[in-house]
Chains A and B, each alone.
Chain A
Amino acid sequence: MKVSLKYYTIKYLITILLLIIAVWAALFYAYILDEVYDNVDDGLKNRKIQIIKAVYLDENLLKNNEFGFNEFKINPISASQYKDKNNLYNKMYYMEYDDEEQPYRVLKTDFIDQFGKHQQLTVRTSTVEEDELVYDLTTALIVLYLLLVVSIVAVNGFLLHKAMRPFYLILDKLKKYQFGVSSFNEPQNYSIKEFEELNIEINEMIERNELVFHQQKQFIENASHELQTPLAIVINKIDFSIQNGELDKKNLNFLNDVKNDLRRMAGLNKSLLMLSKIENNQFNKISNVNFNVLINDLVKSYEDFIEYKKINLHVLEKEVFEATFDPDLANILLSNLLKNAVKYNNQNGIINIIIEKERLIFQNTGSGIPLDKLQIFNRFYKQGSDQGSTGLGLSIIKTIIKQYPRWNITYEFDDEMHYFILSKN
């Protein structure tokens, strides 16, 4: 799953923090606990000395064989059991007040009384309060952890927002970036060195890429352009041979075929030149174009061919389709669409041109097989073996549409009809 930069850092901060605080808390807890028991043990050892001193003064205390309010007991032991060592441990004892077992710290030690007898002294002290301390400590640690997390999330969010602002600005600019439209040139003052560098690097990269791309397009344009002259020479030479009447029929036909192929090549070249000019933004006049008028004019220009093929053509003007467009491009666009609808139509076919406010629909009969939606707008795509086609007509349409953001062209096939739908906005 993709998470934003903010959540990504927070995610790691929280887990790492949890680990560190847990380890730290465990160590802290152990240390404090150690300190607490140390204190308790010191108290017990002190009491031991005081009790033994008291036993020497008052032998009656030797009869204190059970824990009473004194919280100690003395039991006689045999000499073999005697160990000159303090034995400290925790043990649960029943407490009447709470009616349940409670934790105690116990000191067990042996001593020799004033009569030379071996005695075992057990001193205990309740550690209920100390347990509460540990409990409080844990609570404090958890609260501390939560507070830390909350404040880190807040600080992180704030810092990221502040520190990464240039990053988001750059990102935003990249999103809005359109090839050939330089919006990166305006100098930005980033207080963070890395972002300043990033911005500069991106600008340079874009400049380099645009330069390369521009050179590439220029190359295509120049190449097609340079090809026109030799093509013109060859075509005119063939023309001359055909015209001066010195050739027999066989050679005449042969040369005529060659010339036709060369004309096709010239046409291809012209289309390529046109594509590269559109892409190079050389059609950039802006005016308000009434597509209804243009379509009606074009239909008149194609009248002969429409009549010749006995095509039934209807222009259905539901509304006026107007747009700010380059007039030459609009002409090329509509003329290509109409030419397409005429050229690939059947004898006695149908063409419907439906003009809506935001849509132009070219609907025509033709081959009963739908075209490949994904490929028809690609350069040099031809359905089957189409001899007379350059395979660039629809690609020119698409390229023109690409010059206008928010415009779109789609192809549909429905009920034996081909639809080309041009829409704006």
Chain B
Amino acid sequence: MKILIIEDEPELRNVVQSFLEAEHSIVEYADDYQSGLEKIISYEYDCILLDIMLPDGNGMDLLKEIKSMHKKDPVIILSAKDSVDDKVNGLEIGADDYLAKPFHLAELMARIKSVIRRKNQDGENTISYKNIHIDPESRIVKIDNNELILNRKEYDLLYYFIINPEKTLQKTMLAEAIWGDYIDQADSLDFIYSQIKNLRKKLKTLNSKADFQAVYGIGYKFI
């Protein structure tokens, strides 16, 4: 994956870059509007991470530029302004997703993979890990060739683990990713535990080769 980060805050850029590179992505960056625009004109990316507030311009304007060039590169807006308006505007102009700072890196990964998958309609659509296959389009989960019936929340949960396999996913992160603002941190921990327990039971019935591994006090790994 080739990813462009347009972000003026070097520290944030560095950590996102290190994380994505560890995930075997090629990462380029621009730290302002102008250099961002030049990079977008010159190259093609699998995903562009775009900050709204840039020292010499607005990310929204840059997004408009990208769209007026008929570039197909998926764009995820990263904004410190968690405002509904920004989100709606960004998505209307043509951003593929919107992520408010601060975000979890695993969440960012999931979003990047989602937008890339959506853009590659023609390619392979299923995501697989071991003998589990997920078709995000139809939300069908198959283990080997048997369909696993999951409810909406269970599917969402499994999707995060499949996107971030062999990674420690924190309980708080999972709760926020799936239930958003509806849950408070304090309530989430036990709740995630019971959800994982259910999901694990269902996976076992179809002989899944992957299983959740509890990372004590933190969360779970899907191995």
**What 1/0 flags go to B45-74 for Cβ under 8 Å of A?**
000000000000000000000000000000
In the complex with contacts A305-B182, A343-B187, A242-B101 CB distance below 8 A = no
Tell me if B215 counts as interface (CB < 8 A to partner A). yes
Decide: A260 and B216 in contact? CB cutoff 8 A. no
Given the complex of chains A and B, what is the CA–CA distance between A387 and B187 in angstroms? 11
For residue B217, which residue of chain A has the nearest CB? A253
Given the complex of chains A and B, what is the CA–CA distance between A300 and B175 in angstroms? 17
**What 1/0 flags go to A57-79 for Cβ under 8 Å of B?**
00000000000000000000000
Residue in A231, A242, A260, A305 whose CB lies within 8 Å of B102: A231
Decide: B167 and A236 in contact? CB cutoff 8 A. no
Stretch at the interface among B31-39, B76-84, B119-127: B76-84
Tell me if A328 counts as interface (CB < 8 A to partner B). yes
Smallest Cβ distance from B213 to chain A, in angstroms? 12
Tell me if B92 counts as interface (CB < 8 A to partner A). no
**What 1/0 flags go to B72-98 for Cβ under 8 Å of A?**
000000001111110000000000000
Tell me if A302 counts as interface (CB < 8 A to partner B). yes
Given the complex of chains A and B, what is the CA–CA distance between A12 and B105 in angstroms? 78
Decide: B191 and A304 in contact? CB cutoff 8 A. yes
Given the complex of chains A and B, what is the CA–CA distance between A266 and B80 in angstroms? 11
Smallest Cβ distance from B111 to chain A, in angstroms? 14
Decide: B218 and A228 in contact? CB cutoff 8 A. no
Tell me if A270 counts as interface (CB < 8 A to partner B). yes
Given the complex of chains A and B, what is the CA–CA distance between A158 and B67 in angstroms? 72
Given the complex of chains A and B, what is the CA–CA distance between A263 and B15 in angstroms? 17
Interface residues on B, range: 35 or more
Tell me if A179 counts as interface (CB < 8 A to partner B). no
Interface residues on A, range: 35 or more
Tell me if A193 counts as interface (CB < 8 A to partner B). no
For residue B105, which residue of chain A has the nearest CB? A239
| Majority secondary structure, A binding face | helix
What number of A-B contacts does a CB cutoff of 8 Å give?
A: 110
Tell me if A216 counts as interface (CB < 8 A to partner B). no
For residue B166, which residue of chain A has the nearest CB? A245
Smallest Cβ distance from B120 to chain A, in angstroms? 25
**What 1/0 flags go to A317-355 for Cβ under 8 Å of B?**
000000000001000000100010001000000000000
**What 1/0 flags go to A381-413 for Cβ under 8 Å of B?**
000000111000000000000000000000000
For residue B13, which residue of chain A has the nearest CB? A233
Decide: B216 and A253 in contact? CB cutoff 8 A. yes
Decide: A252 and B105 in contact? CB cutoff 8 A. no
> Which A residues lie within 8 Å of B102 (CB)?
228, 231-232, 235-236, 262-263, 266
In the complex with contacts A240-B19, A266-B102, A253-B218 CB distance below 8 A = yes
Given the complex of chains A and B, what is the CA–CA distance between A267 and B188 in angstroms? 14
Decide: B167 and A243 in contact? CB cutoff 8 A. yes
> Which A residues lie within 8 Å of B153 (CB)?
304
Given the complex of chains A and B, what is the CA–CA distance between A235 and B176 in angstroms? 14
Decide: B218 and A242 in contact? CB cutoff 8 A. yes
> Which B residues lie within 8 Å of A270 (CB)?
82
Decide: A264 and B218 in contact? CB cutoff 8 A. no
In the complex with contacts A252-B215, A253-B217, A236-B182 CB distance below 8 A = no
Given the complex of chains A and B, what is the CA–CA distance between A243 and B105 in angstroms? 9
Tell me if A357 counts as interface (CB < 8 A to partner B). no
Tell me if B200 counts as interface (CB < 8 A to partner A). no
> Which A residues lie within 8 Å of B187 (CB)?
305, 343, 388
Given the complex of chains A and B, what is the CA–CA distance between A305 and B189 in angstroms? 12
For residue A332, which residue of chain B has the nearest CB? B181
Smallest Cβ distance from A47 to chain B, in angstroms? 111
Decide: A243 and B19 in contact? CB cutoff 8 A. yes
Residue in A231, A239, A262, A308 whose CB lies within 8 Å of B191: A308
Given the complex of chains A and B, what is the CA–CA distance between A264 and B216 in angstroms? 20
Residue in A229, A252, A260, A335 whose CB lies within 8 Å of B101: A229
In the complex with contacts A239-B104, A242-B168, A259-B170, A302-B185 CB distance below 8 A = no
Given the complex of chains A and B, what is the CA–CA distance between A96 and B80 in angstroms? 114
> Which A residues lie within 8 Å of B12 (CB)?
229, 232-233, 236
For residue B179, which residue of chain A has the nearest CB? A304
> Which A residues lie within 8 Å of B22 (CB)?
240, 243-244
Decide: A339 and B184 in contact? CB cutoff 8 A. yes
Cross-chain pairs A/B with CB under 8 angstroms, 17 sampled = A229-B12, A229-B101, A232-B12, A233-B9, A236-B102, A240-B22, A242-B218, A243-B105, A243-B168, A262-B102, A264-B185, A267-B185, A301-B182, A304-B153, A343-B187, A389-B184, A389-B186
Residues of A at under 8 Å CB distance from B? Answer: 225-226, 228-233, 235-237, 239-240, 242-245, 249, 252-253, 256, 259-260, 262-264, 266-267, 270, 273, 277, 282, 301-302, 304-305, 308, 328, 335, 339, 343, 387-389
Inter-chain pairs besides A235-B104, A240-B19, A277-B83, 10 sampled, C-beta below 8 Å: A235-B103, A236-B19, A237-B15, A242-B168, A282-B83, A302-B182, A304-B153, A305-B182, A343-B187, A388-B186
Residues of B at under 8 Å CB distance from A? Answer: 9, 11-12, 15-16, 18-19, 22, 80-85, 101-106, 153, 167-168, 170, 172, 179, 181-187, 191, 194-195, 215-219
Instruction: Return the 5 tightest CB-CB contacts between A and B, nearest first.
Output: A388-B186, A232-B102, A232-B101, A228-B80, A239-B105
